[in-house]
Structure formats: C-alpha cells, structure tokens
Amino acid sequence: MAYALQQLINGVTLGMIYGLIAVGYTMVYGIIGMINFAHGDIFMVGAFLSLIALLGLSILGITSVPLALALTLVFAAGLAALYGWTVERVAYRPLRGSFRLAPLISAIGMSITLQNFVQVSQGARVKPIEAVIPGGIQVMHQDGFAVQLSWMQIAIVVTTLIVLGIFTWLVTRTPLGRSMRACEQDLKMASLLGIDTDKTISLTFVIGAALAAVAGLMFLLYYGVIDFYIGFIAGVKAFTAAVLGGIGSLPGAVLGGLLIGLIEVFWSAYFSVEYKDVAAFSILAIALIFLPTGILGRAEVEKV
C-alpha cells in the first residue's frame, strides 16, 4: 500500500509535466490542424534557459530561492516564447497554403536544428544542478517503507494547476481566447469576420512555448539533470498524452499526461523499467482502438 502510494505521487508529478507540454501540442493542432514536432525541443530549450538563468543568478549573488525561481521562470518563458514565435514564422507561416506534409517536414527540420544548436552551444554532456528545493514531508510509514512527498513535487503540482488555470481563463474569458476558438472552428471564416488569424496563430505558438518552458524548468528542478536529447523523448510522450486524452482538447491533454505519467511510473515499479515506454504506447494503441478520437476528443465535422 505504501509503495503504491509513493508511485502514485511520483506518477502524478511526472504526469503534470507531460500535461503542460501536451497542452502546447493540442493548442497548435486545434487551430491549424497540424502537429508542431519542434515543440518538444522548445521544452528542451526552456530547460537549458532555466539552467543558464539559475547559474547566472547564483553568480550575481541572488540567494533567495523564490526570487531566483520567479526571475528564472520569466527569463525562460520569455525567451522560449521567442523561439516558439520563430518556429511559427519560419516553419509554418510560409507553408500554410501548401500541401499538408510541407509544414510537417519543416517542423521536423526545426526540431533537428534546435537539437544541434543546443548540442553545439552547450555541449553534449549532461548538465547537472544541485537541488534548489530540498526536503519534504513524510505522508505515511508502513512496514519499514516511508512515503515521502517532497516540496518539489508539491511545487510542480501547484504551479501546473495555477498555470493551467490562468491559461483556461485566457482561452475562455478574453478577446484573444475568443479569437483562438474562432480560428479553431473555421480559420477562413474567422479571417472574413475581421480576426487577424496570423497574429492569433503566432500568439498560440508563443503561449504554447511559454508553457513548455515552465515544464522545462520543473523538469530541471525535479530530476536535476538535462541534456540536449530530452526534448525528443519528452516530446514524443507528451504528444502521446495529447492523442490519448483527445488531440484538440485542453482537459484531455492534461488527463493524457497524467495517464502516461502513471503508466510509466507504475510499470517501472512493478515490471521491467526497460519496457515502460512500450507499455505506454501499447496502452495508447489499445485505447485508440475503442476511442479513435481519444478519451475527451470529439469527432471532426467535415466542412463543405
């Protein structure tokens, strides 16, 4: 019981990170109907930007952890948003009217470019960092096993819920959110009604990249080590989470992230850790057989 509870805590924490990344995938797909395969590498860039910011602040003598994390979050999210804007302008906007595979190939090219840029500029070795938020609380103790809930895990869950709450308010209660929902329903009609669709799409990429940077910061603080390849692995799993939850659905992205995180952690705990990814993708395949649009996805209505 105690061991299962510990894995549940670990799985929810990991799932929150996947969910934040998956939101970026589902946002872009909801508006332009395409997958941004460079999004996982934006997450990786956000993690490296967070590492650079934390090291820079320590050199400047800023020792207050809340202040350092707040400044790091602003720095990483701002620059990652610029990367997201660049991806949209370079890889998507020029090819928006072409055949559907062209932007996909371009996005894969941007992904490879970002990976190699970080590898060349930061080196191929893993980058460790000391624990910024150490300690935690003991939830229970049973049969010699202590269930620990770290302050870092609490911070990840709380931060994710706050960020998702702000984003949900942005989508449902603001003029930008109304423009985003209009573009999602019919891009051409939204343009005819006076909505600046190019600006709306760019802001969607910017917001998605900022969310990925938040996830990158939490990943860095939680695991304490990053490298230039984490974007591909986490990106594939977050994309899987978005598809499992229902691509195009924001609650579905978060739900899918939680499910993928729980599957990965529980499989690693009770079975062979080498096959945890196989388990996650197998369950995705099985789920899509019975729910082709995902758990919370809705079938597309073809516009004629």
pLDDT digits (tens, 9 = 90+) for 173-194: 899 889 988 888 888 888 888 8
Confirm whether 2 is domain-assigned: no
Tell me, what's the pLDDT at 97?
73
- Assign 299 a pLDDT band (cuts: 50, 70, 90): low
- Assess whether pLDDT exceeds 60 at residue 303: no
Locate all alpha helices (DSSP H) within the chain, ordered by sequence: 2-32, 39-59, 65-87, 101-122, 151-173, 175-185, 187-192, 197-223, 230-245, 250-270, 276-290
Considering 41-55, 126-140, 150-164, 236-250, the range whose residues carry the highest mean pLDDT is 41-55
DSSP helix/strand/coil, 37 = coil
Is the model more confident about 272 or about 126? 126
Write the DSSP symbol of residue 131: -
Confirm whether 185 is domain-assigned: yes
Segment 197-212 mean pLDDT: 91
Q: Residue 194: which domain range? A: 20-143+150-229
Tell me, what's the pLDDT at 50?
95
Percent of the chain with pLDDT over 70: 98
- Spatial CA neighbour of 81 closest among 215, 202, 228: 202
Confirm whether 5 is domain-assigned: no
User: pLDDT tens, 106-123?
Assistant: 888 999 999 999 999 998
- Assess whether pLDDT exceeds 60 at residue 88: yes
- Assess whether pLDDT exceeds 60 at residue 302: no
Q: Say if CB 264 and CB 270 are below 8 A apart.
A: no
Beta bridge partners of 142: 145
- Residue type for position 93: R
- Assign 74 a pLDDT band (cuts: 50, 70, 90): very high
Tell me, what's the pLDDT at 247?
80
150-170 b/e with 16+ CB inside 10 Å = b? Answer: bebbebbbebbeebbeebeee
Percent of the chain with pLDDT over 90: 40
To the nearest whole number, what is the mean pLDDT of the chain? 87
Tell me, what's the pLDDT at 298?
67
Distance CA 142, CA 239 (A): 37
Q: Is 181 exposed, middle or buried (0-12, 13-18, 19+ CB in 10 A)?
A: middle
**Cα 52 versus chain centre, distance:** 20
Tell me, what's the pLDDT at 127?
92
Confirm whether 176 is domain-assigned: yes
User: pLDDT tens, 236-294?
Assistant: 889 888 888 888 788 888 899 999 999 999 988 888 888 888 888 888 788 888 888 88
Tell me, what's the pLDDT at 300?
60
Write the DSSP symbol of residue 302: P
Tell me, what's the pLDDT at 152?
92
Look up tokens 């573009």; give the residue.
183
- Assign 62 a pLDDT band (cuts: 50, 70, 90): confident
Confirm whether 79 is domain-assigned: yes
Output the six-digit token pair for 278. 């196989």
Give the total residue count for the chain: 304
Three-state SS string over 54-112 comes to HHHHHHCCCCCHHHHHHHHHHHHHHHHHHHHHHHHHHHHHHHCCCCCHHHHHHHHHHHH
Distance CA 30, CA 252 (A): 12
Confirm whether 240 is domain-assigned: no
Confirm whether 96 is domain-assigned: yes
Q: Say if CB 211 and CB 23 are below 8 A apart.
A: yes
Tell me how many domains the chain contains: 1
Confirm whether 51 is domain-assigned: yes
